[in-house]
Amino acid sequence: MPLPAQPEWLAGPLINQCCRAFLASFKIWKTATVGGNLCMALPAGPMISLTSAFGGICTIWKADGSEQKVKVADFVIGDQRNVLAPGDLLRQIEIPLEALKRRTAFRQTSLAPVGRSAALLIGSIDGGGAVTLTVTASTTRPVQLSFARNPEGKELREALLHHIPDGLYHDDLHGKPAWRKQHDAASCGRNSRRAAGLGAIMSFEINGKAFSESPHAGQCLRTFLRELGFFGVKKGCDAGDCGACTVLIDGEPVHSCLIPAFRADGHAVTTIEGLASDGGIHPMQQAFSTRRRFNAASAPRAWS
């Protein structure tokens, strides 16, 4: 029976935000359960984020007939690992009513606009001004940081950088630990790149020219290059399928829509504009124009 939302439930929108962070087909949307999401303990489990941020308490019916209470934040213990023993059942998740009355802030980062969450942070402030920051998706298990009052951005970033061991960050194609750490810190305010010790200004060699730039947090290489005027880098599928955004990094073709700009820091990037030399055009450019190729979908083959 759906509970009618009460006006004082300020955290209501967070439920919608977390459901939307769930990159799933409508079939999953319609059939998946909150408990199942916790039990799957996948990196981008948005119900893990939601119920841990709400301070949820799991009731586990143990296989031996006993009952155990565990904070949601302690239920997931690693990538696809939780505290259930064989034969245990996650019977219910209790959400304290007080949690629904908190103001909340939601920050989600992924490599592509509809990509899997690479970081999902939820801040909540209670009636007394105490703040809890719940870090998920970037870390292999939820991490909660508590502050007696609303911390300054610097204090929040410092707590993130020092409280979460590097080994707790996921390391996969959705983001390297350093990048995830940067994003967690970026979600907490300005100059986080500097706070994350990842260097604010980066150096790139683009088509043989040196650039010192600071791509903004989460920016993919494609949009970064276009902002620098390299419009030969096109947008197609934005998901690594079509190749329209292909560039070379140190001579290797990559889909720049999937590469965070900061990954090219210190590397040589070649765009289609960079292929031409001394005013002539490159045989490949000639081939594109001869065959009237407007979509660079064949780009990856052509580049290699």
Ligand X SMILES: Cc1cc2nc3c(=O)[nH]c(=O)nc-3n(C[C@H](O)[C@H](O)[C@H](O)COP(=O)(O)OP(=O)(O)OC[C@H]3O[C@@H](n4cnc5c(N)ncnc54)[C@H](O)[C@@H]3O)c2cc1C
CA 86 to chain centre: 31
32 binds, options ligand X, ligand FES, none, Cβ within 5 to 8 A by partner type: ligand X
Residue of the chain from 236, 262, 271, 303 that contacts ligand FES (CB under 6 A): 236
Compute the least distance from the CB of residue 63 to ligand X, in Å. 11
Q: Contacts with ligand FES: how many residues (CB under 6 A)?
A: 12
Output 160 or 296, the one with its CB closest to ligand FES.
Answer: 296
Residue of the chain from 123, 243, 260, 274 that contacts ligand FES (CB under 6 A): 243
Compute the least distance from the CB of residue 219 to ligand FES, in Å. 14
Compute the least distance from the CB of residue 39 to ligand X, in Å. 3
Report the interface residues with ligand X, using CB under 6 A. 22-25, 28, 32-33, 35-37, 39-40, 42, 44-45, 84, 89-90, 116
Of all residues in the shown chain, the one whose CB is closest to ligand X is 36
Output 42 or 237, the one with its CB closest to ligand X.
Answer: 42
240 binds, options ligand X, ligand FES, none, Cβ within 5 to 8 A by partner type: ligand FES
CA distances 270 to 154, 164, 196, Å, are 37, 36, 28
CA-wise closest residue to 284 among 271, 266, 267, 272: 272
List of residues 6+ apart from 170 with CB closer than 8 A: 43, 79, 118, 137, 138, 139, 140, 177, 180
Residue where the block lists tokens 């998740």: 93
CA-wise closest residue to 270 among 258, 282, 279: 282
Residue of the chain from 102, 170, 238, 271 that contacts ligand FES (CB under 6 A): 238
Could you give the string, one character per residue 253-282, with x where binding to ligand FES holds by CB under 6 A and - elsewhere? --x-x-------------------------
Output 150 or 295, the one with its CB closest to ligand FES.
Answer: 295
Using CB under 6 A as the binding rule, whether residue 245 contacts ligand FES is answered as: yes
Interface residues with ligand FES (CB under 6 A) are: 235-238, 240-245, 255, 257
